[in-house]
Amino acid sequence: MARSPAEALDAHFRAALASLPDLSEAEAHMRYSASDKSVEAGTAEEGTAEAAEGARRWWEGLYEAQVASRQLDFVARELQERGEGFYTIGSAGHEANALVALALRPSDPALLHYRSGAFYLARASQVPGSTPVRDVLQGLMALADEPIAGGRHKVFGHADLSIIPQTSTIASHLPRAVGLALALSRAGRLGVEPRWPADSVVVASFGDASVNHSTTTGAVNAALNAAHRGLPVPLLFVCEDNGLGVSVPTPPGWVSAAYGSRPGLTYLDVDGAHPASAWSQIAAAVEHVRRSRRPTFLRLQCSGSSATPAATRRSRTGGPRTSRATTTGIRCSARPGPC
Ligand SMILES: Cc1ncc(C[n+]2csc(CCOP(=O)(O)OP(=O)(O)O)c2C)c(N)n1
Ligand SMILES: [Mg+2]
């Protein structure tokens, strides 16, 4: 009997999962110290049973956020097929952004890319009482009681999660993120009580094609200009690089060529498909911004997505693309998916 693409993907996912090796104890300890926001392997907890248990729980939490995000992508399509859902732009392939959420504090203001499902779920896992899956479903279905846009648009946002809603106009949130990063310290000087703690880090994520938008170039320039003047700009730019902007490939190395050697901008390349090493790099980047109050640019290598998947597949292949979509499963951090 013919299987649907979702069933085939699910079967592949289960087989891939079953073939994964168990975590070694050494890995578990290294990861626990990382979960404690220490990027060095080897902490006081190393070697204890609590360390291993802590590691297991931490990685399970990450995994859960990533899988739930991927499942929401599938459900978005099922809802659309039933005429009950109105938005299908997915987060598949970008699930490594959950690591960024976990490296930040839940109170750090976030202005997110439209592929930040795993970030949203991971952040919500740090805020008791959150209902992130329901929030996203309400957005997909344009329900009036969706928490941030009241069903007017599908966005990631929630006041309790310090996630500021954005439109899908690419890069439009970056000037706002710069302004917010500047305002954190300026507010005190103006006698205004800011909503966020003074040592917050602002995070703004966006895609690899978005880096070419004049709004991005202007925002990065403004951040660097302010930092050059000695103003605190605690802003983490996260470029989720999936190599495509709709159907147009980003030339290999372009993001690093454009942003990797800007005076005043700390830059790092992170491969989202390798979560353990990605975690230490991301945690270090966040701590760097928090301590130095200087802008930092993190290129997070992702895979698989495009803005308008069906149209993209036709334009890139001349017909619907099914093979990769149906045979590639989740290695949660970053593998191509069907969305
Ligand atoms: C200002 C603006 N121009 C064009 C678009 C149409 N558009 C939607 S997604 C997209 C490509 C974005 O690519 P990228 O930044 O790499 O993000 P990805 O979807 O690959 O994660 C474009 C051009 C838009 N949303 N906003
Ligand atoms: Mg892209």
Q: What is the pLDDT of residue 264?
A: 97
Considering the chain, what is the average pLDDT of its residues?
A: 84
- Which is more confident, 160 or 189? 160
Q: What is the pLDDT of residue 318?
A: 37
Cα-to-centroid distance, 208 and ligand 1 (Å)? 9
| Ligand 1: nearest atom to the Cα of 240 | 21
Of the candidate ranges 127-141, 167-181, 192-206, 313-327, the one whose mean pLDDT is the lowest: 313-327
- pLDDT tens-place string over residues 41-91: 334 455 678 877 888 899 999 999 999 999 999 999 999 999 999 999 999
Q: What is the pLDDT of residue 265?
A: 98
Task: Evaluate: CB of 169 within 6 angstroms of ligand 1.
Answer: yes
> Which residue, by CA, sits nearest to atom 14 of ligand 1?
207
Q: What is the pLDDT of residue 47?
A: 63
Q: What is the pLDDT of residue 14?
A: 79
What SS3 class is residue 319? coil
183, 226 Cβ separation under 8 angstroms = no
Q: What is the pLDDT of residue 22?
A: 64
Cα-to-centroid distance, 115 and ligand 2 (Å)? 10
**Residue 312 confidence (pLDDT) above 60:** no
| Ligand 1: nearest atom to the Cα of 215 | 1
Q: Which two tokens stand for residue 113?
A: 């890319």
Please state, as a whole number, how many other Cβ atoms lie within 10 Å of the Cβ of residue 158. 22
| Ligand 1: nearest atom to the Cα of 114 | 21
> Which residue, by CA, sits nearest to atom 13 of ligand 1?
245
Task: Evaluate: CB of 168 within 6 angstroms of ligand 1.
Answer: yes
- Which is more confident, 326 or 207? 207
**Residue 39 confidence (pLDDT) above 50:** no
Q: What is the pLDDT of residue 321?
A: 33
Pair type for strands 235-241 and 296-301? parallel
Task: Evaluate: CB of 248 within 6 angstroms of ligand 1.
Answer: no
Q: What is the pLDDT of residue 21?
A: 65
| Ligand 1: nearest atom to the Cα of 171 | 1
Cα-to-centroid distance, 13 and ligand 2 (Å)? 24
Ligand 1 test: best mutation among 170, 172, 237, 242, most atoms within 8 Å of CB?
170
Cα-to-centroid distance, 250 and ligand 1 (Å)? 12
Q: What is the pLDDT of residue 48?
A: 79
**Residue 309 confidence (pLDDT) above 80:** no
**Residue 12 confidence (pLDDT) above 70:** yes
> Domain 5-327 class?
alpha beta
Q: Which two tokens stand for residue 290?
A: 């928090």
When pLDDT is averaged across residues 123-150 and rounded to a whole number, the result is 96
Kindly identify the ligand whose nearest atom is closest to the C-alpha of 241. 2
**Residue 320 confidence (pLDDT) above 70:** no
| Ligand 1: nearest atom to the Cα of 211 | 15
Q: What is the pLDDT of residue 17?
A: 74
Query: What stretch of H or E contains 244?
Result: strand 244-245
**Residue 29 confidence (pLDDT) above 50:** no
Cα-to-centroid distance, 90 and ligand 2 (Å)? 12
Task: Evaluate: CB of 244 within 6 angstroms of ligand 1.
Answer: yes
Q: What is the pLDDT of residue 304?
A: 65
Q: Which two tokens stand for residue 79?
A: 């809802």
- pLDDT tens-place string over residues 241-263: 999 999 899 999 999 999 999 99
List the 110-111 sheet strands across, edge first: 163-164, 110-111, 202-207, 235-241, 296-301, 266-271
> Which residue, by CA, sits nearest to atom 24 of ligand 1?
169
Residues 6+ apart with CB under 8 A from 37: 103, 283, 287
What percent of the chain lies above the pLDDT cut of 70? 81
